[in-house]
Structure 1
Amino acid sequence: MRILVVEDDLPLAEALSTLLASSGYAVDLVHDGASAEALVAVEAFDLVILDLNLPQMDGLAVLGAMRARGNAAAVMILTARGASEERVRGLDLGADDYMAKPFDVREFEARVRSLLRRQAGLRSAQISLGALTLDLTSRQFALADQVLDLPPRERALLELLVTRAGKVVTKEAIVQSLTSLDDMLSDNAIEQYVSRLRRRIAPQGLSLRTVRGIGYLLEKTP
């Protein structure tokens, strides 16, 4: 999952970026509204965490421009402004959630998870595919009732494949979801991650197939 943090308070911005990255999300970070508006116009994000009081372009203007272009990314407004009219205006413009500073980090993380589940069209906090289970709250996998310990990048890839089980996930979608602007993910690296995941899950009745020239398909073995 890919998240954009738009926050002009540099220590807070760095803290949020570090927190989200430590949870395995691909995170990009900008500090003004104009940069945010330009970035969301050309890059796809699952969630935008958007401050309102930004230099160069107000956060509400960024949100309005996003929705006017048909950008359906989830948006969490994060601001020190406490007036109810600001919350109402943000929600009317298409924001999905609203948190006022200061905030509880655990609540922030829970709201992020909830928004990302909703964005992926998932109502339950748990997904099962054969012997494989993903707890979306802890973002941990279990395989045949045993915790599946995975490196962060492999875990993020398997999470993407599980949430789209039965559908082909393109290599472009993998790169888009798993990397920020500062990251690189080659086709060879993707193939290595897929190969390692395939060895882990194949004995449990799951198939991770390569759809030549397109991407990968995770499903239960017929």
Structure 2
Amino acid sequence: MKLYNAVRTDDILAVQSLLEDSEIDKEQALDFIPKTRFPPDDLSYLHVASSRDSPLVLKYFLEACDCDPCVKEKDGKPPYSMASNKEIKDIFIQFRVANPNKYNWLRSHIPEPQILSAEEEAKLAEKKKAKKAKQKEKQRAEKELAKKEEEERQEKARWLAMSERDRRGILVERRLAGLPLLTRCDQCATVIPDKPFQYETFKFCSPPCVNQHRAAVK
């Protein structure tokens, strides 16, 4: 059960420890893997690793334990046909490429690797390049946004810590410099884009900020 759970969770270190550090002969332990079947579907360990998205264990079983990728469960499916995602399928395909004469690959349902023409390779390379550029631009935009958010957070903190006199001084400086005047909420310091909510001389961005300010000064 420990071994089965380690396979299902792709815990390669636990799998290797249970097999290679076993009290029984290491060769016997590794030989045990290809022969084991699990009811009621007659699954092999390769079926389990393939269907449970366990890439590290799958490679280990194929390369170190000599597990046959052609074995089938009760409904006639080999391990490849139960692959949970592209990564798992690619491991099987790479194993076939490395061992072209080891098995009857037709029985395994593992396809031959796709051979691309020069034109197809160029298109694929261009597609990857465009994707990489898009990801880079996204990261740059996210970094810039994070920077602006941090600057705004710091500006809010400074504004809330200022005296009313200092705030008026900043507004005068902006007016003299020809910059747009920014009205900030007296509760949270958010810039107020439209007409503010007011009571007495205080200005706010929203009714909740008005209520919070009233409660704080009571």
Q: Normalised by the size of structure 2, how large is the TM-score?
A: 0.24
Answer 1 or 2: higher relative contact order, Cα 8 Å, separation at least 6: 1
Q: By percentage of residues, which structure has more helix?
A: 2
Larger Rg: 2
Q: By percentage of residues, which structure has more strand?
A: 1
